[in-house]
């Protein structure tokens, strides 16, 4: 058993560990220990009294602002300097790797600090934030780094700590600041004393963070980063060779448990919370704002909001977001990584998949660019209903014009978002087959907006369309559908309004005719009369066709139509009545001679007289062509 262990056990030192007490170089601590030693000297063994008393020998250490100060050695020798010097009771520091990388011990005053340790909470307060920051930056568990700081600095009473806030004996300089201390180093098989430069920190928190950087920068310790169980971390510190003492992990565990330092771990692990500031429908967007923090967001640089159907929990969509700053959240949760950048504020265009559903939101931190991989979710309980508010009316059906149907009305719906193409579609009620679709432009309807102010597109919900009348539409019972679509042809994603089932009857196909003259004059057959039909709307080719008594075609002749105002006066409701006249001389052919003939008038959409057509069979006939 070493001398340190024996003396520690004789005194029964508590708080740090029962077997080892850290060395001190602080003159005030030494003076206080002298007082303690003199008052209780009868209780101390001789060798112990001698060790404590010998700590009163004094020297001076110089604080420097640069590691390249050529006057350092001379400054150490000058015991009378007072400007940037701190008077310390000091002896040569000797590294003891048994207890850690930064453990420098002396034999002169090994008990003074532990005997005087009266304000542990003040020390813990001074290293708390640095311990938290070490986790957030490097993944070093707060409880273990705090226990190491307690052990290696003797509750902050070591000369390196009191003079330079250096808790771990890290050499070099910190942002150019350092302190020179005499140390014993084992070189070439023997201990020699040298002046060494140690880092000087603005506060203990920077020392804690720097310690985390040391562990992060040395690959041998990477296995303990981001571990969340302190016993695992302390054992890894020991097995990785941070300290050679076989009881190093147990010593750290005792400190952690005695001072409940595992509560610091709970501040940074398994923290997953958030708040939804706003979840509402605003015009054509779903407005979402709030924040989400997670202690498991480290190494998860991609953020998403995921929209779910609240009833089925099925994903509707996911939106990649950039987190916004939330200083208010960071003030409440300074210990949680990324709490400063935990906010979100997005406007999500309302899609068809959302309409009519109740929507809830998940905030996600993910390791994968697509939002999968390893992730940390927070499920918000807020739910917003996505109403499908629709209203419409077919106001006017006007068939006064013989060549068109005039329809006007309006259709407003929240589901019209992202559907810029509007159509009016006519269906045959007998077959439910489409008779035609007609693109329309949106018209302002302030009267409708006054009645339905909450529908997204209500102000421009009107339409007025002239539908060209075709023979296909004649005589049909028709249903009118109004549609919003995301497709230029009216297909794709769409929302329809069926106008409360309203239908109307188109006017029928009237077909009238008369031959005033049908006779042979020499080698000509004179046909004069008229033929009118509504189906000539889309059949602009007019033919006269000669048939024999067996209805065999003997010839066809494309003939012009002529004005017949007299016919129009009688049949004003039939399309083309104004120009339905016939006056044409048909040449007699050899095929006609000797035969009885009659004639039909035909309107067709085909230039050769075939295709779709409407015929009128005149009763007139010539009994025999000569």
Q: Which two tokens stand for residue 486?
A: 């995301």
Q: Which two tokens stand for residue 323?
A: 């987190």
State the burial class of residue 620 (Cβ atoms within 10 Å of its Cβ: 0-12, 13-18, 19+): middle
Report the C-alpha gap between 403 and 92 in whole angstroms: 112
Residues 6+ apart with CB under 8 A from 596: 548, 549, 621, 622, 623, 624, 625
Compare 99 and 371 and report the one with higher pLDDT: 371
Q: Which pLDDT score, from 0 to 100, does residue 100 have?
A: 58
Q: Which pLDDT score, from 0 to 100, does residue 479 have?
A: 95
Intra-chain end-to-end CA distance of the chain, in Å: 149
Report the C-alpha gap between 146 and 252 in whole angstroms: 9
| pLDDT-based confidence at residue 115 (cuts at 50, 70, 90) | very low
Report the C-alpha gap between 54 and 110 in whole angstroms: 11
pLDDT, tens digit (0-9, with 9 covering 90-100), for 372-392: 999 999 999 999 988 767 889
Strands 178-187 and 93-95 come out as parallel
Do residues 268 and 145 touch, judged by C-beta distance below 8 A? no
Residue 279 CB neighbour total at 10 angstroms: 17
Q: Which pLDDT score, from 0 to 100, does residue 105 have?
A: 52
Given the structure tokens 């935990």, which residue do they identify? 342
Q: In 3D, which of 157, 147, 172 has the Cα closest to residue 116? A: 157
What's the chain's average pLDDT? 82
How many residues belong to the chain?
A: 626
Which CATH code of 3.90.930, 1.20.1070, 2.60.40, 3.30.300 fits the domain covering 390-505?
A: 2.60.40
Report the C-alpha gap between 268 and 334 in whole angstroms: 9
H-assigned helices in 444-495:
446-451
Residues 6+ apart with CB under 8 A from 510: 532, 533, 534, 571, 573, 574
Region 568-585: mean pLDDT is 96
Report the C-alpha gap between 586 and 519 in whole angstroms: 10
Sign of the Cα torsion 106, 112, 117, 123 reads negative
C-alpha R_g of the chain: 50
Strand blocks (E) in 328-379: 343-349, 358-366, 375-379
- Res. 321: pLDDT tops 70: yes
- Res. 58: pLDDT tops 60: no
Judged by phi (left if over 0) then psi (alpha if -120 to 50, else beta), residue 226 lies in left
Question: Would you say domain 114-269 falls under CATH 1.20.1530.20?
Answer: no
pLDDT, tens digit (0-9, with 9 covering 90-100), for 556-565: 999 999 999 9
- How far is CA 586 from each of CA 247, 522, 527, 607, rounded to the nearest angstrom? 125, 11, 7, 19
Question: Would you say domain 511-622 falls under CATH 2.60.40?
Answer: yes
| pLDDT-based confidence at residue 48 (cuts at 50, 70, 90) | very low
Same fold, 390-505 and 511-622: yes
Q: Which two tokens stand for residue 231?
A: 């016993």
Do residues 618 and 597 touch, judged by C-beta distance below 8 A? no
pLDDT-wise least confident of 104-108, 465-469, 546-550? 104-108
Q: Which pLDDT score, from 0 to 100, does residue 118 have?
A: 52
Do residues 412 and 391 touch, judged by C-beta distance below 8 A? yes
Tell me 171's DSSP state: B
Region 227-254: mean pLDDT is 92
pLDDT-wise least confident of 148-152, 183-187, 368-372, 380-384? 183-187
Given the structure tokens 């070439």, which residue do they identify? 188
Given the structure tokens 């110089």, which residue do they identify? 62
167 φ, ψ (degrees, to nearest 5): -80, -20
Q: Which pLDDT score, from 0 to 100, does residue 82 have?
A: 34
Residues 6+ apart with CB under 8 A from 82: none
Tell me 612's DSSP state: S
pLDDT, tens digit (0-9, with 9 covering 90-100), for 247-306: 999 999 999 999 999 999 988 888 899 999 999 988 778 999 999 999 889 889 999 999
- Res. 212: pLDDT tops 70: yes
Strands 358-366 and 85-88 come out as unpaired
Q: In 3D, which of 540, 550, 523, 573 has the Cα closest to residue 621? A: 550
Given the structure tokens 């029964």, which residue do they identify? 12
Q: Which pLDDT score, from 0 to 100, does residue 95 have?
A: 57
Report domain extents, the chain.
Answer: 114-269, 271-386, 390-505, 511-622
Q: Which pLDDT score, from 0 to 100, does residue 140 have?
A: 95
Longest dimension (CA), the chain: 164
Question: Would you say domain 271-386 falls under CATH 3.40.10?
Answer: no
Q: Which pLDDT score, from 0 to 100, does residue 74 have?
A: 38
Query: Cα 338 to the chain's mean position, in Å?
Result: 16
Report the C-alpha gap between 539 and 349 in whole angstroms: 48
């Amino acid at each position: 058993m070493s001398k340190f262990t024996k003396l520690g056990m004789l005194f029964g030192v508590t708080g740090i560990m029962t077997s080892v007490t850290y060395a001190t170089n602080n003159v005030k601590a030494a003076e206080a220990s002298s007082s303690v030693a003199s008052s209780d000297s009868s209780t101390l063994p001789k060798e112990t009294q001698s060790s404590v008393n010998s700590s009163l020998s004094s020297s001076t250490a110089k604080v420097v602002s640069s590691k390249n100060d050529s006057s350092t050695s001379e400054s150490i020798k000058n015991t009378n300097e007072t400007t940037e010097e701190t008077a310390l009771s000091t002896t040569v520091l000797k590294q003891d790797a048994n207890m850690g990388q930064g453990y420098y011990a002396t034999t002169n005053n090994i008990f003074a600090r532990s005997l005087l340790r009266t304000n542990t909470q003040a020390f813990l307060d001074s290293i708390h934030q640095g311990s938290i920051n070490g986790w957030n930056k490097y993944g070093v568990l707060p409880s273990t780094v705090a226990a190491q700081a307690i052990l290696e600095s003797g509750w902050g009473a070591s000369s390196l700590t009191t003079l330079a806030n250096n808790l771990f004996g890290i050499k070099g300089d910190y942002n150019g600041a350092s302190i020179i201390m005499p140390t014993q180093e084992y070189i070439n098989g023997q201990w020699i004393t040298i002046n060494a430069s140690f880092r000087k920190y603005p506060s203990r928190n920077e020392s804690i963070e720097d310690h985390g950087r040391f562990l992060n920068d040395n690959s041998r310790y990477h296995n303990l980063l981001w571990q969340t169980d302190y016993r695992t971390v302390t054992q890894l510190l020991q097995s990785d060779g941070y300290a050679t003492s076989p009881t190093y992990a147990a010593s750290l565990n005792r400190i952690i448990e005695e001072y409940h330092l595992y509560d610091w771990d709970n501040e940074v692990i398994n923290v997953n919370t958030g708040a939804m500031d706003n979840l509402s429908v605003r015009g054509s967007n779903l407005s979402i704002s709030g924040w989400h923090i997670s202690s498991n967001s480290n190494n998860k640089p991609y953020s998403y909001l995921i929209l779910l159907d609240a009833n089925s929990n099925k994903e509707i969509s996911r939106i990649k977001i950039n987190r916004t700053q939330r200083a208010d959240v960071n003030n409440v949760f300074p210990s949680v990584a990324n709490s400063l950048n935990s906010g979100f504020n997005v406007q999500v265009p309302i899609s068809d998949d959302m309409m009519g559903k109740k929507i809830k939101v998940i905030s996600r931190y993910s390791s994968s660019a697509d939002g999968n991989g390893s992730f940390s979710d927070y499920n918000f309980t807020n739910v917003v209903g996505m109403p499908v508010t629709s209203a419409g009316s077919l106001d006017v059906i006007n068939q006064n014009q013989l060549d068109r149907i005039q329809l006007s009305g309006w259709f407003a719906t929240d589901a019209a978002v992202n559907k810029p193409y509007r159509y009016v579609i006519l269906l045959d009620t007998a077959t439910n087959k489409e008779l035609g679709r007609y693109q329309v432009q949106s018209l302002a309807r302030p009267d409708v907006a006054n009645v339905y102010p909450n529908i997204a597109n209500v102000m421009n919900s009107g339409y007025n369309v002239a539908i060209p009348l075709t023979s296909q539409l004649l005589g049909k019972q028709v249903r009118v559908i109004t549609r919003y679509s995301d497709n230029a042809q009216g297909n794709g994603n769409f929302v329809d309004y069926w106008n409360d089932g309203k239908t109307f009857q188109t006017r029928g196909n009237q077909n009238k005719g008369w031959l005033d003259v049908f006779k042979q004059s020499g080698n000509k057959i004179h046909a004069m009369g008229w033929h009118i039909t509504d189906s000539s709307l889309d059949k602009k080719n007019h033919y006269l066709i000669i048939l024999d008594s067996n209805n065999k075609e003997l010839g066809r002749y494309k003939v012009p139509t002529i004005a017949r105002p007299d016919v129009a006066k009688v049949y004003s409701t039939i399309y083309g009545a104004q120009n339905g006249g016939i006056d044409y001389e048909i040449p007699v052919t050899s095929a006609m001679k000797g035969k009885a003939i009659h004639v039909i008038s035909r309107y067709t959409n085909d230039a050769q007289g075939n295709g779709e057509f409407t015929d009128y069979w005149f009763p007139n006939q010539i009994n025999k062509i000569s």
